[in-house]
Amino acid sequence: MHIKFKKLFDNAHVPVSGTISSAGYDLFACVTEDITIKPHDIVIISTGIAIEIPSGYFGMVCSRSGLASKHGIHVLNSPGIIDSDYRGELKCIMHNCSNNSFAIQNNTKIAQLVIIKYESIQWIESNDLSRTDRGIQGFGSTGI
């Protein structure tokens, strides 16, 4: 698959995969000066790129496991959804859930992007749904 991208700023970085088998492509901060995310703060970080996702696919912006596990930095609305008709700049809503400040520098890996195929849905209203063993049992009904 080919995904077109456009650098919106000279210091923007193309997404890259960590390995040949990685599903996620690292997204990089595109900033002109360091941004400090204070404990429990929310900051929107620019990536400096726009992309063209093919129809029938969407982008999912997810947290990076290393940032989350080592520093408490994660994508707040993870996964963030990028629709195929969006052509604006990719930005990441970052949250610091730790008690320590964290500095984001230009080209810091801040998130990962996964491109996923989806099906369009036609909703059909019905008074009856098929029966299952679980039925209407909700939160925690299958265990902790």
CATH number at residue 109: 2.70.40.10
In a domain, 138, yes or no: no
Residue 95 belongs to domain spanning: 4-117
Full pLDDT tens readout for the chain, 144 residues: 999 999 999 999 999 999 999 999 999 999 999 999 999 999 999 999 999 999 999 999 999 999 999 999 999 998 999 999 999 999 999 999 999 999 999 999 999 999 999 999 999 999 999 999 888 888 887 776
User: pLDDT value at position 144?
Assistant: 67
Do residues 90 and 52 make contact, with C-beta atoms less than 8 angstroms apart?
no
In a domain, 47, yes or no: yes
How far apart CA 50 and CA 13 sit, in angstroms, is: 11
* 136: its two tokens: 């209407």
In a domain, 24, yes or no: yes
In a domain, 134, yes or no: no
Q: Which amino acid is at 15?
A: P
Beta strands in 2-136, from DSSP E residues, in sequence order: 4-7, 16-17, 25-28, 35-37, 42-52, 57-62, 73-75, 80-82, 89-96, 102-104, 109-117
In a domain, 62, yes or no: yes
How far apart CA 104 and CA 61 sit, in angstroms, is: 17
In a domain, 136, yes or no: no
Q: What total number of domains does the chain contain?
A: 1
In a domain, 126, yes or no: no
pLDDT in tens, 52-83: 999 999 999 999 999 999 999 999 998 999 99
